[in-house]
A = this chain, B = another copy of it.
Amino acid sequence: MTAVYLAMICGGIAVLYGIVTSGQVLRQSPGDARMQDIAGAIQEGAKAYLGRQYTTIAVVGLVVAVVLAVTLGWLSTLGFAIGAVLSGVAGYVGMTISVRANVRTAEAARTSLQAGLTTAFRSGAVTGMLVAGLGLLAIAVFFWYLVGPAGHAPNDRLIVEALTALAFGASLISIFARLGGGIFTKAADVGADLVGKVEAGIPEDDPRNPAVIADNVGDNVGDCAGMAADLFETYVVTLGVTMISIALLVRADAGELLRLMSLPLIVGGVCILTSIIGTYMVRLGRSGSIMGALYKGFWTSALLAVPAIFAAAHYTLGDLNAVIGNAGFLDAVSDDLTQGGAAAGSGFTGMDLVWCMVIGLGVTGLIVWITEYYTGTAYRPVRSIARASETGHGTNVIQGLAISLEATALPTLVIVVAVIATYQLAGVIGIAFAATAMLALAGMVVALDAYGPVTDNAGGIAEMAALPDEVRQRTDALDAVGNTTKAVTKGYAIGSAGLAALVLFGAYTTDLSTYFPEVEVDFSLSNPYVIVGLLLGALLPYLFGAFGMTAVGRAAGAVVEEVRGQFRDDPGIMQGTSRPRYGRTVDLVTRAAIREMIVPSLLPVLSPIAVYAIVRLVAGQANGFAALGAMLLGVIVSGLFVALSMTSGGGAWDNAKKYIEDGHHGGKGSEAHKAAVTGDTVGDPYKDTAGPAVNPMIKITNIVALLLLAVLAARGG
């Protein structure tokens, strides 16, 4: 249990870091009255939106909680509530700090680039550490309660169910937050760009544009709050499913199981410490490279994590060369697998797990590197899109789509190699620990990401408050690398989902054989119901993407109409003599985003249930389970590609525009620039609405399936 306590302490330190660092940020000057006025409007809009979003989600959450209470009992309901509430808190707190850091970053950027970077990154680090800290605390405290005061055995079904419910709570909130926030931010962004930059010919963030505040609000509720909820979910689900799969798969005595189940927690804990150290390394070097400064922080955290993980494993497990459990993996999942590769039939050692975690860290590093290659302005992909912009809007989009398709290849190969290597080392448990190590760095990764919207906002405030040009130049420089860090987080989240989904499927099959030992389910590819499940699962990300893209298009269209109306009704707005009615636009986008997020968010919740019910009706229970299981893998096999292509492609389009704005291919105002703006607009919902929401969608589908099994078992099939 000491390991669990230590993990709780580390989680506490992360929260403490968040409080202290928030204080540092908030003590900085918020600038002059005009700046505070603008920031106030953004704060108000963001608070109002999140308030309504969470109220709406609460209704759905309450219904689900009642269903869980009736079917699985109060412990699962408690888990669900913890996951749901803390996911909401992570998003809300992230938004709260970032709407205050934006104006302070703008003010700090008056002094120097370094000062702006420090303020923005600190604010990002607050969000990052709260996501990781709250995530770790949620699981550690809940697990401590279950095996301590409540006195359950570590592999008790109740614990598995309760941890699953915790993950479900986090996922359910995060899909709404990701999608609602994503629709809000891109509807406002695209709408503002279309009517401002394209139609009225006024620059981005011009205060005469009535949609400009909504655009800035969007950065906070989408890229910050939505992202934080998403990564909170990823963190909780990954660590949770690692523990669940240990409970389900490893055959060992209770003490050994407890130690093994604590390992993900303490690994999360020590990596919080290395991430905190990393945050202090984020400083501009002599080259003045911002990406370089951020990388110093990231690489410090990642490299320190290697010895930290080794020490944590040694502390928790003792002798790292001793074999743990017996046959701790796939022959438990499926007896067919005894001939399945070198791993089967043998146990694994602590050292095997350490290697798996090092591989997980390696995957994170590689995904960062690949994402930078595909979205950075220094490499072929972005430059090829910029070059294609010279021949028009059409070729820009064609090349962007080509890059988005291509960008799926390397991450997939990395994931495939990681799956094979970790499976050879320690079976499904090995894959799970690789995913855990990836997520252990979440504090740092989220910090890099959450820094982006703050600088984006700071630029907007600088523009609207008419700060000197050099301030805007500095915030623009800070913002440009934000595109890459944002893409990194998404690639990282979906990559870890690729690993976690395999583990979730393992949990599903084990649950099946536990709950329904009499039902022989055939998961072989030669069972047509498996194919049916794969196809229906593969359809989900497409349908979900269609909903997301349509929602943004529709809501952006409404913004355009609204702004055109304001310009028409009050010609003083364009002359700069009257103030636009910012609030009305924020309101409009709020209503649109809330309305549009409901149906697609329920899609992954209800589809698994529908597929099981229908196939069961047509072809019996065994095939119902087979189709459902295959659906879980179909959704990851297709979702991985949809998400990777959308997020990388969107980032590349955005930076191709920035590359042209830096003076290449004719620079700002050229025909190439106009084409690049089109590409950027197309990439917006790709990378910030549809693409990133695929990650929580995959998790939800999987977790709903696990809960469905538990419910069916409880009600006797």
Contact = CB atoms under 8 A, between A and B. Distances in A.
Interface stretch (A303-311, A474-482, A537-545): A537-545
B542 A633 contact: no
Contacts of A506: 526
Contact of A556 (B391, B545, B638, B681): B391
Interface string A636-647: 011011000100
A5 interface: no
B341 A405 contact: no
Contacts of A339: 520, 522, 620, 622
A500 B365 CA distance: 41
Interface string A522-535: 11111111111011
Contacts of A342: 619-620
A409 interface: yes
A412 interface: yes
21 contacts: A193-B394, A198-B392, A334-B524, A334-B526, A340-B528, A392-B678, A394-B677, A394-B681, A397-B397, A401-B549, A401-B686, A402-B545, A402-B549, A406-B543, A408-B543, A419-B528, A420-B615, A424-B619, A538-B637, A542-B641, A634-B637
A682 B509 contact: no
Contact of A525 (B539, B549, B633, B677): B633
B194 A409 contact: no
A311 B712 CA distance: 48
A424 B193 CA distance: 54
A525 B535 contact: no
Interface in A637-684: 637-638, 640-641, 645, 677-678, 680-682
Contacts of A412: 535-536, 538-539
Nearest to A632: B525
Interface in A553-598: 553, 556-557, 560
Nearest to A678: B393
Interface in A186-234: 190, 193-194, 198-199
B633 A546 contact: no
A445 interface: no
Contacts of A4: none
A406 B522 contact: no
- 8 nearest A-B residue pairs (beta carbon): A394-B681, A402-B549, A406-B546, A405-B546, A341-B619, A393-B678, A523-B525, A402-B550
A150 interface: no
A442 interface: no
Nearest to A186: B398
Contact of A408 (B341, B539, B618, B640): B539
A630 interface: yes
B419 A553 contact: no
A388 interface: yes
B194 A395 contact: yes
Interface in A603-618: 615, 618
A534 B633 CA distance: 9
A431 interface: yes
A553 B388 contact: yes
Interface string A324-365: 000000100110110111100000000000000000000000
Contact of A682 (B398, B413, B546, B556): B398
A538 B408 CA distance: 10
A245 interface: no
Contacts of A530: 525
Contacts of A330: 526
Contact of A528 (B420, B528, B529): B420
A536 B411 CA distance: 11
Nearest to A403: B546
A523 B423 CA distance: 17
The majority secondary structure among interface residues of chain A is helix
Contacts of A194: 391-392, 394-395
Interface residues of A, number: 95
Contacts of A623: 340-341
A70 B685 CA distance: 53
Nearest to A644: B542
Interface string A260-304: 000000000000000000000000000000000000000000000
Contact of A557 (B395, B546, B549): B395
A378 interface: no
Nearest to A330: B526
Contacts of A190: 394-395, 398
A387 B665 CA distance: 31
A545 B642 CA distance: 13
A652 B405 CA distance: 21
B420 A678 contact: no
A618 B420 CA distance: 9
B682 A397 contact: yes
A629 interface: yes
Nearest to A404: B546
B529 A509 contact: no
B640 A637 contact: no
A268 to B, nearest CB: 24
A552 interface: yes
B549 A398 contact: yes
Given A395-B553, A538-B641, 13 more contacts: A341-B623, A395-B557, A399-B550, A401-B682, A405-B543, A406-B543, A416-B532, A416-B535, A420-B619, A423-B528, A498-B535, A523-B526, A539-B641
A622 B339 CA distance: 8
